[in-house]
Amino acid sequence: MEKKIINTPSAPAPIGPYSQAVQTGNLLFISGQIPINPATGKIEATDIIGETHQVMQNLKAILGAAHITFEHVVKTTILLSDMGLFADVNEVYGKYFSGDFPARETYAVKTLPKNVNLEISMVACIQL
């Protein structure tokens, strides 16, 4: 099966040996996004609400580069630095979807890249 690399300057450049997203067949696999502002390359959010909005905007940009939207997302994984942040993340996250929500899992982890509080990855279906 063929794979296509999706890359957009509207989302942060990878900070390691991985792609922003990879499409194979009708599936798009988006690498975990952290709250880096792609315009500055810096983490500018000062709280978990701002971090979540930045992560979701980064994901939206990658979805857009593949010509799809959050409606095409079938699975997400959320990594948190502390499960105490879950309610705030959940509230912001939910605003980016309408109708049917994707399947999801959420984990608390010891440390995330650049010591952020949140990372989200997604799987989307190009044709629903």
Record the pTM: 0.96
Average pLDDT of the chain, as a whole number: 96
Helix residue spans in the chain (DSSP H):
48-65, 86-94
Q: At a CB cut-off of 8 Å and minimum separation 6, what does 122 contact?
A: 28, 29, 30, 59, 63, 73, 75, 76, 77, 102
Q: How far apart are the first and last CA of the chain?
A: 20
Whether 93 and 56 have beta carbons less than 8 Å apart is answered as yes
Predicted local confidence at residue 96, as pLDDT: 97
CA 21 from centre of chain: 10
Give the other-Cβ count within 10 Å of 91's Cβ. 11
Farthest CA pair distance, the chain: 42
Predicted local confidence at residue 128, as pLDDT: 61
Every domain of the chain and the residues it spans: 3-125
Give me the percent of the chain exceeding a pLDDT of 90. 94
Q: How are beta strands 118-125 and 27-33 bridged, if at all?
A: antiparallel
Q: Which CATH number fits domain 3-125: 3.40.190.10, 3.30.70.3040, 3.40.5.90, 3.30.1330.40?
A: 3.30.1330.40
Q: What is the DSSP letter of 20?
A: S
Query: Is the model's pLDDT at 1 over the cut of 80?
Result: no
At residue 99 the predicted structure's pLDDT band, cuts being 50, 70 and 90, is confident
